[in-house]
Structure 1
Amino acid sequence: MGRKKLSMRLIENPTSRQLTYNKRKEGIIKKAGELAVLCDTDVALIMFAPSGRLASFASNGRTEDILLRFVDRPDELRGGPINHQEFLSQKLKQLKYEGEMLEKIAVYYAPNVEKINSALEAGVYQQFLTTAIQRIQTSKI
C-alpha cells in the first residue's frame, strides 16, 4: 500500500499539525544521525515546534560547538557575511557555558518536584541549586 501524497501547504488543524511535526521531527533527526555516521560529518539541527518549543540535535558534541565553527569560518567559505556576527558568537558561547553548567548540576541534583509541598522545601532546593552553581563557577576560574 502506497503513501498518500500530501500537498505542501500549512496544515490548518493545530492538533494534526503538532502530530505531523512530532512524527517528522523524529524522522529528520534520525536522517541527520545517519548522515553523520555514514559520511563522517558534523551535523547540527535546530527546530522550533509550532508551540515554540526548541528541538536540537548535534552529531558530535554540542549544537553550539558546531554553530561556532560555522560562525568562525571566513565569509567566503560560509557563503557571505553574517549580520551581528560578534553578538551571535557571544550568545553561542554563553549558551554552551550554560549547557555545561546544567549538565554538571544534573550530576548533583535530581529533585522530584512533585514532592515539594511547601515554600520552605522549595527554598531548600533553591539554596542547593545556588550553591551548586557557585561551586561550578569557582571551578571554571
Structure 2
Amino acid sequence: MTRQKIQIKKIDNTAARQVTFSKRRRGLFKKALELSTLCDAEIALLVFSNTGKLFEYSSTSTRQVIQRRDLHSERIDRLDPIPSLELQLQSSTCAMLSKEMAEKTREVRQLRGEQLQGLDLEELKELEKLLEGGLNRVKQTKEESFFKEINTLKRKGVELMEENQKLKENMENLGKQGQQSEPNGHAWRSSSSDISLRLGLPYPN
C-alpha cells in the first residue's frame, strides 16, 4: 500500500495540527543533527509553536550561532560601501571624460568660426594664432603636394620625349633601308625588258 501524499496547507483540526507539529519538529531537529554531524556545519534552529512555546536545537550553542550571524551581518554591512565607492569613481571618470569631450567639441567649433560669443580679446587672439598656424601647415602641405605633382609630370614628359626620339630614329632607319633597295629593283626591271625585246620575232627584210 503506497503512502498517501499529504496536501501542504494549514491543518484546520487543532489536535491534528498539534500532533503534526510535534512529529515534524522532531524530524526537523533530527535532520539538522545529521547535517551538522555529516558536514561539520554549525546549526541553530528556533521554532515557536502556535501557542508561543519555544523549541530550539543547536549543534554548539544557540547564542554562539546568533552572535556569529550578527558578526557576519556587520561584516557584510562594512563591505557594502566598497561597491558604492567603485560606482562613485566610475561616475567621476565618466563625468571627467564627458567634460573633456565637451571642451574638445567646443574648441573644434570655435576653429570653424562657431560659438565665439563670450570669448575675450586674448582668447580671440590665441584662437587666431591657432588658425594661422593650421593654415600655414595646410599651405605647406599643399605646396609640397603641388611640387611633387609637377616633378611627376616632368618625369613623364622626359620619358615621352625619349620615346618620340626613339620612334623618329626607327623611322629614319626604315627610310634609309628603303632607299638602298630601290636602285636594284629598277635595274632588274630594265634588264628584263631588254631580254624580252631580244627574244622577239625578227622583222622581215
Could you state the TM-score of these two structures normalised by the residue count of structure 1?
0.51
Letter of the aligned partner of 2:2 in structure 1? Answer: G
Partner of 1:14: 14
Task: Find the aligned partners of 1:47 and 1:29 in 2 and give their Cα distance.
Answer: 10
Question: Identity of aligned pairs, percent?
Answer: 35
Once the two structures are TM-superposed, the CA of residue 34 in structure 1 deviates from its matched residue by 0.3
- 1:71, 1:14 → 2: CA distance? 36
Q: What secondary structure, in the 3-state scheme, does the structure 2 residue paired with 1:50 have?
A: coil
> Who wins on radius of gyration, i.e. which is larger?
2
CA distance in 2, matches of 1:76, 1:8: 38
* Rounded Cα–Cα distance in structure 2 between residues aligned with 1:71 and 1:53: 24
SS in 2 for 1:73: helix
Shift of 1:3: 2.1
Residue 66 of structure 1 aligns with an amino acid whose one-letter code is V
Letter paired with 1:63: T
Change (3 A) 1:77 1:2: farther
Please give the root-mean-square deviation of Cα atoms over the aligned residues, in Å: 2.3
Greater than 2 Å deviation, 4+ residue runs: 74-78
**Distance in 1, Cα, partners of 2:21 & 2:68:** 28
Q: Which amino acid aligns with 2:64?
A: D
* Counterpart residue number, 1:34: 34
Corresponding letter in the other structure for 1:46: L
Question: Aligned with 1:42: secondary structure?
Answer: coil
The Cα offsets for residues 72-108 of structure 1, whole Å up to 9 and x where unpaired, read as 1145758xx9xxxxxxxxxxxxxxxxxxxxxxxxxxx
TM-score, structure 2 normalization? 0.36
Number of equivalenced pairs:
79
Matches for 1:41-56 after TM superposition, within 5 Å: 41-56=41-56
Q: RCO higher in 1 or 2 (8 Å CA, sep ≥ 6)?
A: 1
More helix by share: 2
In structure 1, the gaps of 5 or more residues are 82-141
Amino acid at match of 2:4: K
Deviations 1:28-64 (A, max 9, x none): 000000000000010000001122100000001x211
